[in-house]
């Protein structure tokens, strides 16, 4: 049972979804996400798993019902299965409705059984191509076969898999139908995502990578029957049903179609910074009140104060060139 009044932002949106980054590190270096030579945060700045447990538990008390664990790559964090098990206790009491994970899939083969035992029933896997050579080039360090084996391991436990594919101009434009057909054949949902201006990625130019999903959807609609669905899963995706296969395909369009009006989520970084908007630089420090005292009174007050500053929407807009780029990397923000 919720013991505190719910979190309501200035625009009457109830905050019920927390995305938490447990590490900024990753075993891939995807060209739209990171520079090849990344400087990661000093380990001493990261919250311990016990501190992350305390923070997430405070949010659950305040009305968060969905918790998504992200990174970086969350499964490279030492002891991460213990954190999932700790969060699973909130599923047992009914105060948390869903515990989920976003991953690149590289470590799923190792951890699938432990994740399922902790209560994870849905996993989002980031996968932008089914071509092994292109996958290696995009991720710089990744192996496609390892990701596919991880997906198989997760599915064997009964977990539901959704594939997240970033739409990249000139890279995977020729794969949208093969990706859709593969997901349909494997009974996995698929969501396409527009590339977002997060962090310095070195020599890559996101304006060259940017492929609006309005164009991608039009290409799909030229060959497939797409019917809009009204359902939402707590995130920003808008879904269609494909008549020919019955599968569900989602579109996350932070640039061509702002999805802020129904935003119910905030993001917690691995250092304890709370970002109330993905596309704004403002944040609130929760690490200081967390460490200042053993009880959570000051922490809960800080959370409520941060939610009271949540903006109406973000500033992503490639029509203004690269303006609106966030200085922080997505791996630090929490997905």
Give the tens place of pLDDT for each residue, 232-263: 765 678 999 999 999 999 999 876 555 567 78
State the Cα–Cα distance between residues 154 and 116, nearest whole angstrom.
Answer: 8
Burial pattern 142-179, b for ≥16 Cβ within 10 A else e, equals bebebbbebbebbbebebebbbbbbbbbebbeebbeeb
- Is 124:101 a contact under the CB 8 Å cutoff? yes
For residue 104, is it left (φ>0), alpha (ψ between -120 and 50) or beta?
alpha
Residue 162 annotated as binding? yes
Correct CATH for 17-333 of 3.30.70.1560, 3.40.190.10, 3.90.700.10, 3.20.20.70: 3.20.20.70
Q: Is 155 annotated as a binding residue?
A: no
Q: How confident is the model at residue 8 (pLDDT cuts 50, 70, 90)?
A: very high
43 labelled ligand-binding: no
Structure confidence by residue, pLDDT tens digits, 92-150: 999 999 999 999 999 999 999 999 999 999 999 999 999 999 999 999 999 999 999 99
277 marked as part of a ligand binding site:
yes
318 in a known ligand binding site: no
User: Is residue 270 a known part of a binding site?
Assistant: no
Q: Is 137 annotated as a binding residue?
A: no
Domain limits, the chain: 17-333
Q: What is the largest CA-CA distance in the chain?
A: 60
| Residue 65 among known ligand-binding residues | no
Helices 80-93, 108-118: inter-axial angle, 10-degree rounding: 30
Q: Is 56 annotated as a binding residue?
A: no
pTM: 0.88
Say if residue 126 carries a ligand binding annotation. yes
Query: Is 140 annotated among the ligand-binding residues?
Result: no
**Residue 279, marked binder:** no
What span, in angstroms and rounded, lies between the C-alpha atoms of 286 and 258? 28
* 183 annotated as a binding-site residue: no
> Are the C-beta atoms of 280 and 287 separated by less than 8 Å?
no
């Amino acid at each position: 049972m919720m013991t505190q009044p719910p979190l309501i932002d200035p625009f009457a949106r109830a905050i019920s979804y927390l995305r938490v980054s447990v590490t900024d590190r990753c075993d891939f270096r995807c060209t739209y996400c990171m520079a090849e030579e990344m400087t990661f945060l000093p380990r001493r700045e990261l919250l311990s798993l016990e501190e992350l447990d305390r923070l997430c538990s405070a949010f659950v008390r305040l009305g968060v019902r969905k918790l998504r664990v992200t990174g970086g790559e969350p499964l490279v964090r030492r002891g991460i299965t213990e954190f999932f098990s700790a969060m699973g206790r909130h599923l047992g009491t009914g105060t948390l409705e869903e515990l989920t994970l976003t991953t690149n899939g590289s470590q799923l083969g190792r951890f699938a059984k432990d994740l399922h035992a902790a209560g994870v029933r849905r996993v989002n896997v980031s996968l932008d191509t089914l071509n092994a050579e292109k996958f290696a080039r995009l991720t710089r360090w990744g192996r496609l076969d390892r990701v596919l084996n991880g997906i198989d391991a997760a599915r064997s436990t009964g977990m539901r898999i959704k594939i997240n594919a970033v739409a990249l101009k000139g890279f995977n434009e020729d794969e949208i139908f093969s990706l859709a057909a593969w997901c349909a054949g494997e009974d996995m949902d698929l969501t396409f995502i527009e590339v977002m201006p997060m962090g310095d990625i070195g020599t890559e130019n996101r304006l060259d990578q940017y492929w609006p999903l309005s164009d991608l959807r039009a290409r799909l609609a030229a060959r497939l029957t797409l019917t809009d669905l009204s359902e939402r899963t707590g995130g920003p995706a808008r879904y269609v049903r494909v008549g020919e296969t019955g599968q569900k395909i989602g579109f996350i369009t932070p640039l061509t179609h702002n999805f802020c009006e129904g935003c119910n989520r905030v993001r917690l970084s691995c250092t304890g910074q709370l970002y109330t908007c993905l596309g704004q630089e403002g944040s609130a420090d929760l690490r200081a009140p967390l460490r200042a005292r053993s009880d959570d009174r000051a922490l809960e007050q800080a959370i409520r104060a941060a939610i009271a500053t949540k903006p109406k929407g973000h500033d992503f807009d490639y029509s203004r060139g690269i303006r609106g780029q966030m200085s922080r990397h997505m791996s630090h923000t929490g997905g």
